[in-house]
Amino acid sequence: MAPAEHPPTPDPAHPSVGAGAPGHSRRGEVLPDDPGSRPELLDLAALEEQARGLLPPDVTAFYAGGAEGEVTLGEATPAWRAWRLRPRVLTGVGAVRLGTSLLGSEVAIPIGVAPWAYQALAHPDGELATARGAAAAGALMTVSTSATAALADVAAAEPTGPRWFQLYRLHSPAYTDELARRAGAAGYRALVLTVDLSVLGRRLRETAHRFALPDDLPLPNRPDGTVPTADSPVWTLDDVGRFGRLSGLPVVVKGVLRGDDAARCVDAGAAAVWVSTHGGRQADPVVASAVALPEVVAAVGGRAEVYADGGIRSGSDVLTALALGARAVFVGRPAIWGLATGGADGVRAVLDGLAAQLATTMLLCGLGDAAAVPRDTVTQAPGSIAGGP
Ligand SMILES: Cc1cc2nc3c(=O)[nH]c(=O)nc-3n(C[C@H](O)[C@H](O)[C@H](O)COP(=O)(O)O)c2cc1C
């Protein structure tokens, strides 16, 4: 797929929001456009509210909650907003290119769908709908080990969309190995090792709401129904290379929050490092992704790609992450609320909406290429929590 251009086409002939129209303006404002769609203004808070009205309270608690005191969860978005943009003027930039490549796969936007579990609890079509929505937005999707659809079925649902498979350490080491091989065979383009879940975080909201998986929930990638357990050998750096060889895929290490760890992962053969707090669902309180990202980028030193997730809720959050050195960002809960409220279209609307915000913000900052956002696009807000060690 060719990287998407987002030209700011003032076009009074197309004043309304509607699929397929080439561009539009409102009261002289120039808005960037997204080919094939016309993202409405995205209101994620309202979307979450709508999803909460549709989902059972225990499922909402599972999706929305964090671990322990939820400090990490609460700091995620404010940490991105502890940075301020430094717009450039008179740059002559009149169009925005949002497309980039992620480990060699072309994507139309630098915003992907993070792996998240049990999507059939949000919508009957679960991961298949997410795959369609992500592909329609030109975004990469990461499919969880804890998906409610078989990894091969998700691949078949949307054969052209780039996809990565996220691997957990499972009860059976042999089965984990088998899953890695299957991901390679099913056309997934990278294997994402989630390394921040040696045990499950203590998620008090879920417990308070007595969240439990329905007995009939399909977990085809986890046939023994287990979560990662201590019965399985603990992963080490050697597993980075080992899973790469088993799957034949580049390995992304997800859940890295320190520069020294990131460097060790890259030395061990990781093609990319994914800065993440697991949505504030594991250790708590930990450094926000926005705080850890600059340290990780510096330690990796361009030897591997770096991504970030956690609390990304606006185009300016995305732009901040790109300026701090992330090649792409991923969203978890925004995609959950999109899926719950609108299935594939809902996922697409969230991704399109964030992409439209990103394009507008880039234009306003005089930036034309999401794959080349200069570090000096952002500065710490006075008295902010943005500082690292
Ligand atoms: C309900 C839920 C389930 C998740 N399941 C997984 C998972 O199966 N594998 C994984 O690596 N991360 C999982 N995550 C973490 C996400 O991949 C991602 O790191 C996080 O959601 C990003 O933060 P955000 O929700 O603020 O965007 C999950 C997150 C949530 C909220």
Query: What CATH number is associated with residue 355?
Result: 3.20.20.70
Closest-lying ligand 1 atom to the alpha carbon of residue 310: 23
Cα–ligand 1 centroid distance for 310 (angstroms): 8
Residues with CB under 6 A from ligand 1: 62-63, 76, 114-117, 144, 146, 166, 194, 254, 276, 278-279, 281, 309-312, 331-333
Question: pTM higher than 0.75 for the full model?
Answer: yes
Structural contact between residues 262 and 287, judged by C-beta atoms closer than 8 angstroms: no
Structural contact between residues 293 and 275, judged by C-beta atoms closer than 8 angstroms: yes
Structural contact between residues 178 and 169, judged by C-beta atoms closer than 8 angstroms: no
Please list the ranges in the chain whose pLDDT falls under 50.
1-31, 34-38
Q: Is residue 310 in some structural domain?
A: yes
Closest-lying ligand 1 atom to the alpha carbon of residue 145: 8
**In sequence order, what are the beta bridge partners of 111?**
329
Q: Is residue 5 in some structural domain?
A: no
The residue contributing the CA closest to ligand 1 atom 31 is 63
Closest-lying ligand 1 atom to the alpha carbon of residue 312: 27
Q: Is residue 3 in some structural domain?
A: no
Q: Is residue 167 in some structural domain?
A: yes
Looking at residue 128, what is its pLDDT? 98
Ligand 1, pocket-test mutation among 55, 60, 194, 281, most atoms within 8 A of CB: 281
Q: Tell me, what DSSP letter sits at residue 1? A: -
Cα–ligand 1 centroid distance for 65 (angstroms): 11
Cα–ligand 1 centroid distance for 244 (angstroms): 22
| Count of other CB atoms within 10 angstroms of residue 372 | 10
The residue contributing the CA closest to ligand 1 atom 1 is 63
> Percent of the chain scored above 70 by pLDDT?
86
User: What would the two tokens of residue 25 be?
Assistant: 């303006």
User: What would the two tokens of residue 89 be?
Assistant: 């003027």
Cα–ligand 1 centroid distance for 347 (angstroms): 15
Structural contact between residues 326 and 293, judged by C-beta atoms closer than 8 angstroms: yes
Number of domains in the chain: 1
Q: Is residue 39 in some structural domain?
A: no
Q: Is residue 97 in some structural domain?
A: yes
- Residues annotated as catalytic are 278
Q: Is residue 107 in some structural domain?
A: yes
Q: Is residue 315 in some structural domain?
A: yes
* Structural domain boundaries, residue 123: 44-375
